Amino acid sequence: MSHLPANRQRFRKILEGAATRQQMYALFNRHGQAPFDDDRISGRLYAGEWFEISEADHDRMLDILPPLFMRGDHFAIREFLVRKITSVFFTLKIDGRFRWFHAYCDLADVGAINSMRRTIVERESRPVRAMTRTEKLEHIWSTTGADFRAYADQRFAADFAGGRIVMVFSAAQAKVWKLLDDLSDDEIAAKLPVQFRHRGKQVAA
């Protein structure tokens, strides 16, 4: 059974705000606990994910290894994550200022980089920076420690099989595992940083 949500979008923002260097490296490994099933082996688990980074970290990644290629506002890392999926780093001017982003793009798709660029610019140009429910869940998964998130295996109920699960407190303050996609609005709010809890809701695409 696939652990990918049925509504998983092709392009997915996985962190709200610009990642710190520590967060950036953690996000590179955010699926480190995932089972080695077809979603992971094929790269579907990674392709399309993106998040904002600092200018310093963008430049640092450029200096680590000679890029696979560098074209205009982006460059690609020479080392592929899986198959033709690799890290692409963007410098994009949005609302009059430059910002920097990391994305996993499938270079087997000749239009992937252009589509990713359009997605980021459209998303970050919205006048109201509301978060969709999907973005909130992805942010929670990205920022939850490995001891408090997991992929359900044979130890869990059959309807959890392969799903992403996170630890929550029950009404009795007992720690219980719950499917990420099944978190209530109150549970989502409790896991988000205060500054993100009351942003206006945006209907998921």
What local confidence, expressed as pLDDT, does residue 71 receive? 95
pTM assigned to the model? 0.88
The one-letter amino acid at 78: R
What does the pLDDT look like over 13-31, one tens digit per residue? 999 999 999 999 999 999 9
The candidate with the shortest Cα–Cα distance to 142, out of 31, 68, 35, 20, is 31
Sheet holding 149-151, edge to edge: 149-151, 164-169, 175-179
What local confidence, expressed as pLDDT, does residue 113 receive? 97
Q: Are 158 and 1 contacting, i.e. CB atoms less than 8 angstroms apart? A: no
Q: Which residues of the chain have pLDDT under 50?
A: 1-8, 202-205
3-class DSSP state for residue 100? strand
3-class DSSP state for residue 123? helix
